[in-house]
Amino acid sequence: MFTGIVEELGTLESIDRRGDSARLRIRGPLVTSDAGHGDSIAVNGVCLTVTEWETGAHFDVDVMAETLDRTALAALAPGDPVNLERAMRADARFGGHIVQGHVDGTGRVVSRVEHEHWHVLRISLPGDLARYVVEKGSITVSGTSLTVSAVSGPGEADAWFEVSLIPTTLEATILGGLAHGDPVNLEVDVLAKYVERLLDGRGGGSR
């Protein structure tokens, strides 16, 4: 489990494509400082398993076709920055919200409005995820825990949401460099999905 508090901006060093899968090598001195075989590291919000590593340098992960199809990892190129977070320790502070590292879908940056001390990103939202996103609720954007500042109305043809980025987020995550049309990984609040499931069971599928 993760919290969506990005620990380090890493760099994708290489992609070794192997038919229906790929092996990624990612530079991350901090997250590899105590890495071990089989550890989980979230890369742009995708929970991946460490297969090889060099302490204080880089680590390798294998990515299967389904992950490449369902996330924005396939759009990465060598040299691109990536958000990195190690799995949460049981004795650590819970700084963000519950993040599984299981991407629900992808969106794209629709617009970016720059204010003096913060930026506002509007991001497209797959229609089947819109019901889980509420104003002032939590969402994970490429591994970053954020608070939703605005959402599209029920009558709008294309669903979207907005997040406001403070200077720390702009500097410490890949979100600071996103431009119009860039893809992002989205994970909605898992608690909303559990509540929906429970209500379905209680009401026979009715809302």
pLDDT in tens, 141-170: 999 999 999 999 887 889 999 999 999 999
For the CA atoms of 134, 138, 139, 143, the dihedral, rounded to the nearest 10 degrees, stands at: 170
The dihedral sign for the CA sequence 131, 133, 134, 137: positive
The dihedral sign for the CA sequence 173, 72, 46, 55: negative
Domain that holds residue 164: 105-197
Residue 63 CB burial class (10 angstroms; 0-12, 13-18, ≥19): buried
Answer yes or no: is 202 within a domain.
no
Q: Kindly state whether residues 53 and 130 are assigned to the same domain.
A: no
pLDDT of residue 172 exceeding 60, the answer is yes
Domains identified in the chain, total number = 2
Q: Kindly state whether residues 75 and 109 are assigned to the same domain.
A: no
Per cent of the chain over pLDDT 70 is 97
Answer yes or no: is 65 within a domain.
yes
Q: Kindly state whether residues 179 and 114 are assigned to the same domain.
A: yes
pLDDT confidence of residue 168: 95
As a whole number of angstroms, the distance between CA 49 and CA 67 comes to 13
CB 80 within 8 A of CB 11: yes
Answer yes or no: is 96 within a domain.
no
pLDDT confidence of residue 207: 47
Question: Within 13 A of 131's CA, how many CA atoms are on the CB side?
Answer: 8
pLDDT confidence of residue 94: 84
Q: Kindly state whether residues 32 and 112 are assigned to the same domain.
A: no
Q: Kindly state whether residues 190 and 111 are assigned to the same domain.
A: yes
Q: Tell me, what CATH number does 190's domain have?
A: 2.40.30.20
Which of 51, 86, 121 terminates a domain? The answer is 86
- Convert the pLDDT of each residue in 66-101 to its tens digit: 999 999 999 999 999 999 999 998 888 888 899 999
Q: Kindly state whether residues 30 and 68 are assigned to the same domain.
A: yes
pTM (whole model) above 0.85: yes
Q: Kindly state whether residues 33 and 75 are assigned to the same domain.
A: yes
